[in-house]
Amino acid sequence: MLNHMRTYMLLAAMTALFLGIGFMLGGEGGMIIALVFAAGMNVFAYWNSDKVVLRMYNAQEVDARTAPELHGIVRQLATRADLPMPKVYIIQNDQPNAFATGRNPQNAAVAATTGLLRHLSHEEIAGVMAHELAHVKNRDTLTMTITATIAGAIGMLANFAFFFGAMGGDNRNNPLGIVGVLLVMIVGPIAAMMVQMAISRAREYEADRIGAEICGRPLWLASALERLGQISARVDNEVAERNPATAHMFIVNPLHGRSLDSLFSTHPPMETRIRLLREMAGAAGPWG
């Protein structure tokens, strides 16, 4: 409950930041426009975000015939978690990674890269898929979609502010003048990324814990994270690099530092995640 309250407070802070940027660029009128725009984006994200992100990564839906091992793992874990069977997708990408999306458990999807299926064992894949189903169970997929939508919109406003400043615009509705433009250009995206980072980190820790409970073996997920951390750091994900606002969706950070956004990791330290899972396994006894 405490984690959920913290997430809602951070979401409120990000929304307030977006409205504040609208105010700095256009006064009260700009704030109202920003509010309407944010509402429209979130409605669109609620109904279409899963389709957009799956299409962005060219994910292909699979079933029990085309990917029997992965589909079987997800089905077994969904039953254990008391969740509806999500759609299962495979992404043709050498970087081992995975994510979940969808507005609710009834409309959820989980996706794994070909790199993950190639490099991880059956047990490690189960640990990863359990983590993604934990995001579905906790409804993190909707929360993080809204977060990414607002963060992306703030970045768009920063680009607008840059254009506005470069054109030497003199907007009388802008209460802070050129100072407001500079604040939007420089501080806005950084502040948005910091809030997004805080929300994502809290949800990742919780998904690790719930995922370990779903698969019943915390060490499976700990081993998977260790291997993912080692291999993913050496393999690029070009689509994620071009769309850094989606980085938080993955189980491990897909970015390699070629963008401003990657200065702020949306994922907790891998060492801490692994340590907590091993401590959880120890508390669970020899079968952890």
Structural tokens at position 186:
């420089």
The total of structural domains in the chain comes to: 1
Residue 10, pLDDT score = 62
Q: What is the mean pLDDT of each run of 10 residues along the chain (288 residues)?
A: 58 70 67 73 74 93 97 98 97 97 93 98 98 94 72 68 51 54 62 66 90 96 96 92 84 74 67 96 64
Residue 25, pLDDT score = 64
Residues 18 and 184: their CA atoms lie apart, in Å, by: 10
Residue 236, pLDDT score = 92
Query: Which of 184, 187, 193, 205 is CA-nearest to residue 263?
Result: 193
Residues 272 and 58: their CA atoms lie apart, in Å, by: 32
Domain that includes residue 90, residue range: 2-284
Residues 284 and 108: their CA atoms lie apart, in Å, by: 30
Residue 203, pLDDT score = 85
List the catalytic residues. 132
Residue 245, pLDDT score = 74
Q: Where are the beta strands (DSSP E) in the chain?
A: 60-62, 87-91, 98-101, 109-113
Contact status, residue 111 vs residue 59, Cβ threshold 8 Å = yes
Contact status, residue 137 vs residue 102, Cβ threshold 8 Å = no
